[in-house]
Amino acid sequence: MKTTVITYGTFDLFHIGHLSLLNRLKSLGDELIVGVSTDEFNSIKGKKTVVPFADRIEIIRGLRCVDLAIPEEQWDQKIGDIAHHEVSIFGMGSDWEGHFDELKAYCKVVYLPRTEDVSSTHFRKTLKVLERSHIGELKQALDLISSIVERFD
């Protein structure tokens, strides 16, 4: 009998932590299905991605460890996907520990450790220095510092 594993994620700013997680999930079964959050669903979750959905799902589809990539459009589609694809294992990173325990009624649920010191959130914060709004904030701070220094000249 085939063991099918499923996971979900946004996979924005794809990095080694994503790849490591997907490879570890694939090693748990014969087939790995990955649900990639659409831009619309991310908006509902309050997330704004750097990379658009069409590109993110193509990146996931291009990975050797992924057998099928599907759109994730809503929170409650997981039970239907598990039934439709005859999933044996639902897996997520440990940062989601406990959030999907209700799926244990339908399949085995596993939470795998995250890759240390790697996350899209960290990359996004690092890249913030390149945003126009942040450059404006830096300019305001520099102007304030300059005005203070001028008082002492």
DSSP string, 82-127: HHHTT-SEEEEEGGGTTTTGGGGGTSEEEEEPPPTT--HHHHHHHH
What pairs with residue 89 in β-bridges? 5, 108
Which two three-digit tokens encode residue 149?
Answer: 């220094």
How far apart CA 13 and CA 55 sit, in angstroms, is: 11
Q: Which helix (H) or strand (E) holds 40?
A: helix 39-44
Residue 45 annotated as catalytic = yes
Catalytic residue among 45, 48, 104, 139: 45
Catalytic residue among 2, 47, 48, 104: 47
Residues labelled catalytic: 45, 47
